[in-house]
A and B are shown apart, each in its own frame.
Chain A
């Protein structure tokens, strides 16, 4: 029997890691991720989890230790946030290029300066192109579910990629919600033992991490790119089988009350639940609006996105990150680009808000939807609009 308990997302993720029977954890504590390594260290110390816990001296070392651990075929986990992910950056690329299926939670946090420990997606967007499979969670149940699913997908012999599970710092990481925890037997049915086909072994020596001169580097990158895009099949299969065992089904792009909607709002992460409440309120007033929650970020779900926005005239994209000097929020740039070659496509309007822990209420999202409709109709000289900023914002132009 599964049980329903109150857990913050950090503890839900730690519980998933324990149930996945992970072999090695190498992590460095950083706000707002601290509760994850703290809880896992406690589990290891108490004998609830038989794993090696490596208390490293930095995030760069954390990911480096994870490389070694994955190279010998150990199930490997780490977690970080904000500045920690930035310090780790160099090694994040190595993990995906060497195809080590490490699972990493990122409790999304703003980047300095000014110093902010609070949530936004700047850290996630800075690792957009690192070659990891990446998903965003809406709530604590998803934090548990996606962590379990991440091991299953990343370690699949047809995939062998690291997976990043993003959830919002504080608004999920530190907030208690009901989470359904499965039986260990169900987890074991879903998640087979990790069988890494190229594990380092003195009896069968091989080379991991040879260098790549100009006559081979391009080929290595193409092979990586094709493999990451091909992982989509296993990603979908993983979610399908997850649903069959646990009863919760997930899609790369979640369409919420989109049927017949002329205007759609697109969000990622925990704000999607707030935005759903805004959509509900406006639907009650008879407005034709709906929500698209982008769950799978890499590989980007082109087909599903195009399908989800079919028939919509306006697509309002809400970002929690500024791409300084760029064409809009990073998500809106990608969404616009993904739809550009479609014959019938909605007008894409870009908003940025919720930076550094600034809250977005249901009313704020209703404003974003209404303002988005206005901008789509009359146009604007600004490339994107900021939400909830004091003082009129002008000068964000091409």
Chain B
């Protein structure tokens, strides 16, 4: 979905804030990259992946997307690195890897 580019926190002055800091627009997180504080990322081993989609189903942030080839991969702009996908994967195709190692 196309969205207008939202101001980031550091563009706003105190006068730009809504009463009680309410965010009036729903789903505004999709206009921002919210995964930049992740410490680990899921790395997919395509050899092992059976395309079962359990990772896609269980991702709490809806950050896993189907690829054109039919695999499922995390959108790293939104993935927080929680590791649920790696834990749920029945064939251990996903390995949580330290960001620093990549």
Interface-lining segment among B19-27, B50-58, B65-73: B19-27
B12/A216 in contact, CB under 8 A: yes
A198/B14 in contact, CB under 8 A: no
Which residue of the partner chain, among A97, A210, A215, A220, contacts B14 with CB atoms under 8 Å? A220
Taking A222-B14, A223-B14, A223-B15 as contacts, is the C-beta distance between A210 and B9 under 8 angstroms? no
In the bound assembly, the distance between CA atoms of A208 and B20 in angstroms comes to 8
A115 within 8 A of B: no
A56 within 8 A of B: no
B17 within 8 A of A: yes
A389 within 8 A of B: no
In the bound assembly, the distance between CA atoms of A97 and B18 in angstroms comes to 12
A219/B22 in contact, CB under 8 A: no
Residues on the B chain within 8 Å of A97, using CB: 20-21
B28 within 8 A of A: yes
Q: How many A-B residue pairs have CB under 8 A?
A: 55
Residues A183-225 near B (CB distance < 8 A): 197-198, 205-208, 210, 212-213, 215-216, 218-220, 222-223
B20/A198 in contact, CB under 8 A: yes
A215/B9 in contact, CB under 8 A: yes
Instruction: With CB as the reference atom, state the residue of chain B lying closest to A218.
Output: B14
Residues on the B chain within 8 Å of A99, using CB: 19-20
B28/A207 in contact, CB under 8 A: yes
Residues on the B chain within 8 Å of A197, using CB: 19
Most chain B beta carbons < 10 A, residue from A97, A206, A212: A206
Which residue of the partner chain, among B17, B26, B27, contacts A223 with CB atoms under 8 Å? B17
In the bound assembly, the distance between CA atoms of A227 and B28 in angstroms comes to 25
Residues on the B chain within 8 Å of A160, using CB: 19-20
A231 CB, nearest partner CB in chain B, Å: 12
Most chain A beta carbons < 10 A, residue from B12, B21, B26, B28: B21
B17 CB, nearest partner CB in chain A, Å: 5
B26/A206 in contact, CB under 8 A: yes
B12/A207 in contact, CB under 8 A: no
In the bound assembly, the distance between CA atoms of A98 and B8 in angstroms comes to 20
Instruction: With CB as the reference atom, state the residue of chain A lying closest to B22.
Output: A198
A220/B26 in contact, CB under 8 A: no
A100 within 8 A of B: yes
Residues on the A chain within 8 Å of B12, using CB: 216, 219
In the bound assembly, the distance between CA atoms of A216 and B15 in angstroms comes to 12
In the bound assembly, the distance between CA atoms of A226 and B14 in angstroms comes to 10
Residues on the A chain within 8 Å of B25, using CB: 206
In the bound assembly, the distance between CA atoms of A207 and B6 in angstroms comes to 15
A207/B23 in contact, CB under 8 A: yes
Residues on the B chain within 8 Å of A98, using CB: 20-21
B26/A227 in contact, CB under 8 A: no
Instruction: With CB as the reference atom, state the residue of chain A lying closest to B21.
Output: A220
On B, residues with C-beta under 8 Å from A are 8-10, 12-28
6 contacts between A and B (CB under 8 A): A100-B20, A197-B19, A198-B18, A206-B25, A216-B9, A219-B14
Q: A99-B20, A198-B22, A207-B23 are in contact. List 5 more A-B contacts (CB 8 A).
A: A97-B21, A98-B20, A208-B22, A223-B14, A223-B21
